[in-house]
Amino acid sequence: MTDQQNPGQQKNAAGEQKKPGKGCGCLVWVVILLMIGLGVVLGGAEEGWFDSSDNDTTIAAPSGQEAADLVNRLAEAEKAHGICYGWSLRDGSNTVVTEGSSRGTGVLASSCARWVSLDIIVDYAPATSESEDSATIDVSKSDDLVGKIPYSTDLEYMGVTREAAINDPTATIGLGALALPLLMAEQGVVEALPLADPADEPATAISRPGSDFVGNYSGALIALGIIGGIAVLSLIIGLIVRKRGAEAR
């Protein structure tokens, strides 16, 4: 008769037998969630989520339509001013990305008797390098225009800055080339061009921007966010199971 347990002891024994089951269930959930997280990371690595596009130092050239639009607008300025306006965009290795003038794409402004040209060099440093991205902006001209050309400070008022050149070289070189006739007129060298009706101007697509941390690492950030969510979910499940275990006691 001494081996019999009272109802309270039987309840406690049953409760103690259920506790290991709850602990095992929590462990199973944690293992499952960790496996899911590992699968996400491995899949993202295979898709190249963790590869940094900052290692790509190439500069996108303008489309044929963009270059043609620029030539046409500069041709109007040359017709009115008698001065060739041109542009040249090069990368850090001094390789031409795009160049041209009011005479056509690939035709240097220096081929004319009187000319002004905007020259921009953008040097992108790889992500593995300690160097920073840099840009230089210069204006070259024919000898007869001594002291009558825009300077870098004048171009800055038009939004043609080193920062802009680094962020979007193609758009900046186009903007700067179109600013040359305006700045020449501002200095009194030529007459200002008549303003065009904005409704008659076709919209021109802007090429891709420069380095962007969120865009370059979006895949990695998504994966890290999922893993962080899994970790938080595992913690919440563990706390709930622990609380229920404490209440069962």
pLDDT at position 145 is 84
For the stretch 95-135, pLDDT in tens is 999 999 999 999 999 999 999 999 999 999 887 778 889 99
Alpha carbon 213 to its chain centroid, in Å, reads 6
Q: Mean pLDDT across the stretch 85-94? A: 94
pLDDT at position 211 is 47
The residue written with tokens 């462990």 in the block is: 27
Question: CA-CA distance, 74 to 66, in Å (whole number)?
Answer: 12
pLDDT at position 206 is 44
Q: Select the more confidently predicted residue: 228 or 107.
A: 107
Percent of the chain with pLDDT over 90: 38
Statement: the pTM of the whole predicted model exceeds 0.85: no
Q: Mean pLDDT across the stretch 161-186? A: 93
pLDDT band at 205 (very low <50, low <70, confident <90, very high): very low
Question: CA-CA distance, 202 to 222, in Å (whole number)?
Answer: 38
Residue 2 has pLDDT above 60, yes or no: no
pLDDT at position 58 is 86
pLDDT at position 242 is 67
pLDDT at position 129 is 78
For the stretch 39-73, pLDDT in tens is 666 665 555 555 545 567 789 899 999 999 999 99
pLDDT band at 207 (very low <50, low <70, confident <90, very high): very low
pLDDT band at 5 (very low <50, low <70, confident <90, very high): low
Q: Which residues touch 170 (CB under 8 Å, ≥6 apart)?
A: 59, 60, 61, 62, 66, 89, 97, 98, 207
pLDDT at position 217 is 53
106 and 100 Cβ atoms separated by less than 8 Å? yes
Lowest mean pLDDT among 80-94, 136-150, 180-194, 220-234: 220-234
